[in-house]
Structure 1
């Protein structure tokens, strides 16, 4: 996790003091990308209050924190509901109250640590969260399952495991996992006079890959067949690329299944990388030998069509490096 700069902290925060630490009840500022302090008055921030970022808070709190460079007069209005787009939570937060992000429909990204294990009911009701970034310092337990259970849309998780070993500097192992969209619908079975529940999408199965608040990577990787059967080629390509690029806890049989899928669907993989302008992802494919001539040509065509100039330049360089044209020889 990169270091929070004081000038980046939300300019004005309402809070309460509790026996466990500081509880944030509301934030004021000019924009919806909120970075919350780890401490206030030297006391760790440990809780986000119920309805803290909803349109109508339960309680604004009796104390006010003003960050460095901020002021009471210039902090702007309360940032809540549809105004919230990204939140970087305090590193020692252990609990989020119920409906804390109620109807924050533009909240796309959430950054937190494994200190947070408890999330109140309905915390993400009305949200369409797209990306979660979690930093692990104490093991592999987190609140990830609670988050993905509340979001039926596709959600991407970037997981950073901070490791310490004797005689070695701290290092980070990374995982990148996708939980596809899923939903249920009730369908009437008229002859039997009953309602049947039908499930759509592979996301529901992936959301069951947890045990004791830890992501079960083996179980996750065994579900590739569900993605292939029920999701689009683009979704499958994204999921496969994420696991191969960051193979945390990836067993050999799982790796072989992902590689087999990637080799059979190179065009979908490069199309996804071109559309998302993922330069590092394309370099990964090139470095691992997955970019065949036909895959490169397809990527070049798609990059030109999509007017992705930087990606186009990278692909032209890779084609020249990987598949250089042979110089013509002339006999005299």
Structure 2
């Protein structure tokens, strides 16, 4: 790759490089740790990769400690950024107006949450953070939010309100810790506000249950069970749109930030079936919907599930009562 560098020196870092851009077109940009002379890359420069439509993924090495202003600003197709917590300075606009950005993968080698908080502060869109820590992995979805400005004519002032739960979720991330319990306690609010994002949050926490309490797990599973038919109908409808005219050959498009966990609608459905988070009655209904869309692999999965001996097998403290009648499900709140 034909990178553009600027070499500089200071007392703290010695000789190092500021990367100013790349003259070649690329979908997956891997910023090098150093040049051919082993001079380390420490800084991503102002507007270094701004307004590029070719970038889809960016990997930033742990040699980088600073991302200057608008480094990736307005990269319309950028979906994922991978980096480490070596970044200790991130200036405004670094990832702003990246309308396709979905996932930030962070390797927390030093226990420094700074870069997580700064990227969240810089974006009001929904983002998923995959966090690799020495003792486990967390997958957290942060909802989006909007600022709404309202004129108070009586007081002759402009007031603003925050729409959505995204701001409250962002406040769970502090410089020295992430409040996982605080994060989980917000679920009742987002589930009333945005059911699509609520499903993503619940699935993510169950898939990577880092510091997930038993009470929170039960709450997430109850909600998924209650909304399983509606959620999976949306997934099947989306898959049907993708596979129109190709009956039985396409199980749907990737579902964004969960590509590594749930690569398509078949795996999305399997998430519910493997955890018994859908009743047999609802599975039969969904099978008919999938059959109408020509998604035969999902139809087979759902019918096999519906024909098993046991329905939902959650009871007692987990709040769901097992019933022999496939058409009746009692939730014990």
Same fold at TM > 0.5 = yes
Give 2:228's aligned residue: 266
Secondary structure in structure 2 of the residue aligned to 1:39: coil
Give 1:59's aligned residue: none
The TM-score, its normalising length taken from structure 2, stands at: 0.75
Q: Distance in 1 between matches of 2:271 and 2:173?
A: 29
Deviation of 1:305 (Å) = 4.6
Q: Is the alpha carbon distance of 1:33 and 1:322 closer, same or farther for their aligned partners in structure 2, counting shifts above 3 Å?
A: farther
Pick 1 or 2: higher relative contact order, CA cutoff 8 A, min separation 6. Answer: 1
Instruction: Judging by fraction of residues, say which structure has more strand.
Output: 1
Query: Which of 236, 252, 256 is equivalent to 2:218?
Result: 256
Q: Is the alpha carbon distance of 1:192 and 1:161 closer, same or farther for their aligned partners in structure 2, counting shifts above 3 Å?
A: same
Number of residues of Structure 1 aligned to a counterpart in Structure 2:
279
Query: Which of 100, 105, 108 is equivalent to 2:79?
Result: 108
Q: Distance in 2 between matches of 1:162 and 1:140?
A: 12
Q: Distance in 2 between matches of 1:306 and 1:177?
A: 32
Q: Distance in 2 between matches of 1:202 and 1:16?
A: 42
Give 1:239's aligned residue: 201
Give 2:31's aligned residue: 36
Q: Distance in 1 between matches of 2:233 and 2:134?
A: 32
Q: Is the alpha carbon distance of 1:256 and 1:214 closer, same or farther for their aligned partners in structure 2, counting shifts above 3 Å?
A: same
Deviation of 1:220 (Å) = 0.7
Residues 1:12 and 2:2 aligned together: yes
Q: Is the alpha carbon distance of 1:95 and 1:311 closer, same or farther for their aligned partners in structure 2, counting shifts above 3 Å?
A: farther
Deviation of 1:307 (Å) = 4.7
Q: Over residues 49-100 of structure 1, what are the superposed CA-to-partner deviations in whole Å (9 max), with x where a residue is unaligned?
A: 111112xxxxxxxxxxxxxxxxxxxxxxxxx533332211123221101111
Root-mean-square deviation (CA), in Å?
Answer: 2.5
Q: Distance in 2 between matches of 1:308 and 1:103?
A: 37
Q: Distance in 2 between matches of 1:280 and 1:159?
A: 22
Query: Which of 16, 19, 23 is equivalent to 1:24?
Result: 19
Give 1:195's aligned residue: 158
Deviation of 1:119 (Å) = 0.7
Give 1:90's aligned residue: 61
Q: Distance in 1 between matches of 2:151 and 2:209?
A: 43
Query: Which of 109, 116, 127 is equivalent to 2:98?
Result: 127
Structure 1: runs of 5+ lacking an equivalent: 1-10, 55-79, 164-172, 325-332
Deviation of 1:316 (Å) = 4.5
Deviation of 1:260 (Å) = 2.2
Q: Distance in 2 between matches of 1:234 and 1:271?
A: 12
Q: Distance in 1 between matches of 2:124 and 2:65?
A: 24
Structure 2: runs of 5+ lacking an equivalent: 239-254, 256-263, 312-333
Q: Distance in 1 between matches of 2:2 and 2:304?
A: 48
